[in-house]
Amino acid sequence: MASHQRGTGALLRQAGVQLQAGDRVEREEGATDGTAIAVERAVPVVLEADGRVLTWRTRAGTVAGALAEAGVALGPFDSVLRNGLRAGPSDRLDLPPLLVAAQALGLRLAEDAVPVSVSSEQVALMVRRAVSFTVVEGDQPQPQPQPLLSSQPTLAQALREWDIRLGPGDEVEPAVSSALTPGLQVHIQRAQRVTLSVGGTETVVYTQERTVKGLLEEAGIVLGGTDRVEPPVEAALSQDLRVRVYGYAEQQFVESETVEHGTVYKLDPELAEGETERVVGTDGVLHHEYVVVYEDGDEVSRQLLDEWYDPEAVDTVVYFGTPDRVQAAHTLPEGLNVVRVMTVYATWYDPASAGRPSSDPSYGITSTGVPVTKGIVAVDPSVIPYGTRMYIPGYGFGEAADTGGAIVGNIIDLGFPDGVSPGWMPRWIDIYILGP
């Protein structure tokens, strides 16, 4: 611009530049380039602090510089709002482009930021002083808590500032939305995390209740007369406790099993020597009546109430005649220590014909506890004592180690294992009792 004016003010007026309070003008004369005039504008500021409102123009570059000009000092927990948004002391005083954009987009200002009326060019600063408050957790006696400081507007923001986090079910008094006021006392009652298992379904519950009973009532669980709870309803709750409700049910039913009939031998004096008659028997059915208790669907106990036969097993009866004399047409092994010769009626049996089902734990076990196999002989212990060794022609060596209801007097039963065809015909025979 060319001008005949010599004074700085006249030059600025000629250029249409109006100076305001706080603006700074610098003039530099050049030998060939003419005169250069630089105008540094002051920023208009409205400051609200400690109940005062100050307005001035400043060339301070930062928030801290402007506050220093106004004689306002910040404490460790005090905060500053710049046009409604929180700013740090070292932040630029004038509105940076991002802040202008944020305000243009209508981003939420601080909750208590109600700045005084300002023009579009002004920067509004608000100093928020920290206040003290205390936090008490739980309902147990404890030492007096240390006061905390915060300049946040609400209790929720102050708790976040101090990293005091609230979990599900925690209760706070007053409400977290309350304004943070000087001397505010905050009570936090922490909820307890409990795993509640009902009917096999587990749920994590956060509760303020203090007993198992209170927890169940809170969850709307009504116990039946046979339901059981672990731990008991009067027990106190604790963090991460597992409370389980067991549902009980009873069922009464009858189980039945077939009882195979046996074979008994009876002497019939009217029959001739070597003559027999057979009366075929029938199997029976043994019934067991139980009451069974279920817990969450699993059987936990079983009690036998009654058992009966319907029908009862009827043994096959083999009647045999009495011999006049017994012929011993056989050769004995050498070296036998025979102490006695007995005339007996010898039959045979195996585990399958002993009268017990294969599911019975005692299946195939003799009265002396040894398995039925070849060499085991069932006897009447009053006639042939247990442990007696003997030799039976056509069978071999045997030992008296079992008995039975049909084995009476001079009747013996020769043992064979399952699955073996004995080829033995019941008959009268001489046996040889052996000594030691």
Instruction: For 237-250, write each residue's pLDDT tens digit.
Output: 999 999 999 887 78
Residue 27 pLDDT? 60
CATH number, position 205: 3.10.20.30
Residue 113 pLDDT? 46
Name the strands in the sheet holding 148-150, side by side, starting at the edge strand that comes first in the sequence. 148-150, 131-137, 184-189, 171-173
Domain final residue, candidates 166, 189, 212: 189
Residue 355 and residue 259 in contact, taking contact as beta carbons nearer than 8 Å? yes
39 pLDDT above the threshold of 60: no
25 within some domain? no
> For 48-83, how does the pLDDT look when each residue is reduced to its tens digit (9 = 90+)?
999 999 999 998 989 999 999 999 999 999 999 999
Residue 399 and residue 387 in contact, taking contact as beta carbons nearer than 8 Å? yes
Residue 243 pLDDT? 95
Per-residue pLDDT, averaged over 191-203, amounts to 90
331 within some domain? no
19 within some domain? no
Could you give the CA distance from residue 105 to residue 99 in angstroms, rounded to a whole number? 10
413 within some domain? yes
What is the rounded average pLDDT for all residues in the chain? 84
Do both 111 and 60 map to the same domain? yes
CATH number, position 285: 2.20.230.10
Do both 420 and 377 map to the same domain? yes
Domain final residue, candidates 82, 100, 128: 128
Per-residue pLDDT, averaged over 350-361, amounts to 86
Per-residue pLDDT, averaged over 165-170, amounts to 93
Residue 274 pLDDT? 65
Full domain range(s) for residue 101: 43-128
CB neighbours of 318 closer than 8 A, spacing ≥ 6?
263, 264, 265, 266, 276, 277, 278, 347, 426
Token pair recorded at residue 69: 């000009």
- Bridge pairing between strands 263-267 and 171-173: unpaired
> For 244-290, how does the pLDDT look when each residue is reduced to its tens digit (9 = 90+)?
998 877 889 899 999 888 777 777 777 876 677 889 989 999 999 99
Residue 233 and residue 244 in contact, taking contact as beta carbons nearer than 8 Å? no
Do both 357 and 275 map to the same domain? no
Residue 207 pLDDT? 95
33 within some domain? no
Do both 430 and 342 map to the same domain? yes
> For 83-110, how does the pLDDT look when each residue is reduced to its tens digit (9 = 90+)?
989 999 999 998 654 444 444 444 444 4
280 within some domain? yes
4 within some domain? no
Which pTM value belongs to this model? 0.50
Report the number of distinct structural domains present in the chain: 5
Domain final residue, candidates 206, 226, 246: 246
Do both 258 and 239 map to the same domain? no
Do both 67 and 119 map to the same domain? yes
Residue 264 pLDDT? 74
Burial of 407 (0-12, 13-18, 19+ CB in 10 A): buried
